[in-house]
Amino acid sequence: MSRNIQSVRGMNDILPDEAELWERFEEIVRSWLKSYGYRPIRLPIVEPTPLFARAIGAVTDIVEKEMYSFVDSLNGEPLTLRPEGTAGCVRAAIQHNLAAERPQRLYYSGPMFRHERPQKGRYRQFHQIGIEALGFTGPDIDAEHILMGARLWDDLGLDGIRLELNSLGQPEERARHRAELIEYFEEHEELLDEDARRRLHSNPLRILDSKNPAMQELIAGAPKLADHLGPESLAHFEGVQRVLRDVGIPYTINPRLVRGLDYYNLTVFEWVTDRLGAQGTVCAGGRFDGLVAQLGGKPTPACGFAMGVERLIALLSEGGGAPTALPVDAYIVHQGEAASRLAPRVAEGLRDQGLDVLLNCGGGSFKSQMKKADASGAPFAVIIGDDEANAGEVSLKPLREFGKGDGEFGSAQTRIAIDALAEAIIQSLLDEDES
């Protein structure tokens, strides 16, 4: 009798007990994404091979060694099972002209494929949940993505996940750093391992990410990219850090954090844990302002991240499973230096009270922000100018008719202390439910 057919190595079945945990996890994630105003997009698993070569980089490990590629027997088209989601999401945004209509907050989920050596937390078919924000400039959206990670770990009841942060600057800054790196490593070529020698002239920045213990002293002495960052890159990086400090998110700057994909610029970050052995990164991302134009679209600023579902499920399993998730209640409008620094703290404070909040990112006049607030469907706009910020207050404006308009706020805009804001919104929503 022939042997039973087994699953492909590194492509695993998810059996009912674990699949139920996956479903609880996905429910929490969908609610979390909705609370930040992200909308779903569903993408093909198979894409044209040139998409990944152009987006990820032809000399990256993914494109050179890890992709599942084949030629369509009917038309000879080179195709690839997607190894990551950003390239496909950007391709779809260009093809359907999404970002030209208005800035987009998008998310996707599903299986990805890389031909790697299977080990705990690293599989040949693995699952990611990714988000992409297209059309937003400035460091505020970068910071929001990091704040989202911190909130999700709290919603899932996970601890021991720490944040590492870096800036890759702009392409011309990296080019100067790259030249210095090549010169430095050429002077010490006898100390490089096989992978480092292969990457020396094609992608020397990736040598900095080597985990080879024998090379750590050499890497520690390598030229630092931070020494090549210009004023605009430094200001952007400081803007991200300022929001994190204001909200109270601890982080470590890791100058060796470079990411494995060529499309990144400026902010890059990783959420890492020591509880999964060598595969300690559970979520990673950053800014990729040049990718849309690189794939044929109009220049569009962009930022995003992806998280590994299997790794997060492993952490949840260790802790006994995911908690029950809470099922936009307010849109925060802000303008002015003091107001823009206060707004993320106000947003996180409301989310602390279980409210779904959309924080305006990318600037704009009060008028344009109020149009976005109204279009969001939120029942309330929380308005912060410098006058309110300096007084420790906000203005709360109902955007929808509550009952007959004769409740605590009616339809008027009201100044209110920040500490009383969450209770006021929650009580108004409860009163509306009872009316």
pLDDT tens digits, 152-186: 999 999 989 999 999 999 988 888 988 888 888 88
Q: What is the dihedral of CA 149, 138, 337, 249, to 10 degrees?
A: 20
Residue environment code for 298-312, b if the CB has 16+ CB neighbours within 10 A, otherwise e: eebbbbbbbbbbbbb
What's residue 210's pLDDT? 78
CA 27, 306, 19, 314 torsion-angle sign? negative
pTM for the model stands at: 0.84
Q: Which residues contact 57 (CB under 8 A, 6 or more apart)?
A: 63, 203, 261, 262, 263
Supply the angle between the helices 139-156 and 337-352 in degrees, to the nearest 10: 20
CB 87 within 8 Å of CB 264:
no
Low-confidence ranges of the chain (pLDDT < 70): 1-2, 58-61, 260-262, 320-327, 402-411, 433-435
Q: Which residues contact 33 (CB under 8 A, 6 or more apart)?
A: 107, 131
CB 415 within 8 Å of CB 385:
no
Distance CA 319, CA 334 (A): 39
Could you list the beta-strand ranges (E) of 274-379.
281-287, 302-308, 330-334, 357-359
Question: pLDDT digits over 195-221, tens only?
Answer: 888 888 877 877 887 778 888 888 888
CB 141 within 8 Å of CB 239:
no
Distance CA 278, CA 274 (A): 8
Distance CA 406, CA 404 (A): 6
Distance CA 281, CA 270 (A): 7
Q: What is the dihedral of CA 386, 367, 409, 392, to 10 degrees?
A: -10
What's residue 325's pLDDT? 40
Residue 194 carries which side chain, given as an amino acid letter? E
Q: Which residues contact 228 (CB under 8 A, 6 or more apart)?
A: 169, 173, 174, 176, 177, 180
What's residue 406's pLDDT? 41
What's residue 327's pLDDT? 46
Please tell me whether residue 68 adopts helix, strand or coil conformation.
Answer: strand
CA angle 416, 418, 423 (to 5 degrees): 80
Distance CA 142, CA 136 (A): 9
Residue environment code for 129-138, b if the CB has 16+ CB neighbours within 10 A, otherwise e: bbbbbbbbbb
Beta bridge partners of 132: 106, 304
What's residue 403's pLDDT? 41
Question: What tokens were used for 376?
Answer: 């969001």
Strand order in the sheet with 46-48: 46-48, 78-81, 68-71
What's residue 260's pLDDT? 60
CB 391 within 8 Å of CB 342:
no
Is domain 16-169+229-318 annotated with CATH 3.40.50.300? no
Distance CA 329, CA 412 (A): 17
CB 166 within 8 Å of CB 257:
yes
Question: What tokens were used for 59?
Answer: 């000399």
The domain spans of the chain are: 16-169+229-318, 172-225, 330-434
Phi, psi of 168 (to 5 degrees): -95, 0
Rg for the chain (alpha carbons), in Å? 23
330-434: CATH number? 3.40.50.800
CA angle 299, 304, 309 (to 5 degrees): 150
